[in-house]
Amino acid sequence: MALLQPSPHAGPQSAAADVGGSGGEGRSRAAHGPRAPLSARERALAVFTYFLVVYRRTWRGSIIGRFLSPLFFLLAMGIGLGSLVDNRVGGVGGLPYLQFVVPAIVATQTMWVAMGESTYQVLGYIKWNMGYHAMLATPMTVRDVLRGHFLAVAAHLTTATAIFMAVASLFGGFRSVAAVLCLPIAILTGMAFTTPIFAFTAKQEGDNGFNILFRWIVTPLMLFSGTFFPIEQLPGWMQPIAWVTPLWHGVEACRAVATGSVAWLPFFGHLLVLAVYAAVGWWLAERSFARRLVP
């Protein structure tokens, strides 16, 4: 019976298995001898824990992109350009320019985070350090790996958005307390980018595609999705393009709750589009990961 007692030397190795289950059950897995297979939830959480452990070592490097970048945009666009706009025309639709642009930066930042987490990093795990292959050599499936990794990206999105929103609220960037709802909307917006980009990355051989993604998708989306000015200012033929891009829906939904003027039908429409992007992207990601990683 002594063999079934938790081993005092199990240490960090048991951490991953520990996460999912209830305390006693998790610890008994560290013991020698035959053990029960991990549940699907435990497998995904084990992947998530792996990414958490990695991030604990590398978080310093992400501070600049994660925190300072949106702050710079807030200062330059919200306050600098904002003073120009406010002096000229008294804001956008009666809203001070800062409060117009801050919810949009919240949504745009999630696109940046999604890009940062789903391009080079993912290709690295697929191709350069074979991290996914290592995970798939365990009882984990492609589905578990993706669920765990998406959960990790969602955690990144949450912290990045929460920090930026706290700072932006100090500058008076939000008009209504309902702006806290920007957080879940931003996470959804971020996932609407993350899952399709995962699917795209799994089809890449080198990083050329990422440059094209950055230059031809991310930058134009930031500039033409109603972020810095309402899309009504664009020529008529360009407006329908904004309607199909996920960023515009994220921006509009965040702006609606942040200014406290939610028109329910369009609001749920925006959320629905984002959810569809995330779901279809997820499906495509599972498909292209399976093709790439499972022989």
Chain residues binding another protein by CB under 8 A are 61, 64-65, 68-69, 72-73, 75-77, 80-81, 83-85, 88-89, 92, 208, 211-212, 215-216, 219-220, 223-224, 228-229, 233-235
Nearer to another protein, 216 or 283 (CB): 216
Give the DSSP per-residue string, 204-258. -SSSHHHHHHIIIIIHHHHHHSSSSS-GGGS-GGGHHHHHHSHHHHHHHHHHHHH
Nearer to another protein, 159 or 239 (CB): 239
Nearer to another protein, 24 or 235 (CB): 235
**Shortest separation between residue 155's beta carbon and another protein, angstroms:** 21
Identity of the residue numbered 222: M
Query: Can you tell me the distance from the alpha carbon of 166 to that of 146, in angstroms, rounded to the nearest whole number?
Result: 30
**Shortest separation between residue 214's beta carbon and another protein, angstroms:** 9
Query: Can you tell me the distance from the alpha carbon of 191 to that of 41, in angstroms, rounded to the nearest whole number?
Result: 20
The conformational region for residue 22 under phi > 0 = left, psi -120 to 50 = alpha, else beta, is beta
**Shortest separation between residue 43's beta carbon and another protein, angstroms:** 31
Nearer to another protein, 59 or 268 (CB): 59
**Shortest separation between residue 50's beta carbon and another protein, angstroms:** 21
Q: Report DSSP state, residue 206.
A: S
**Shortest separation between residue 108's beta carbon and another protein, angstroms:** 13
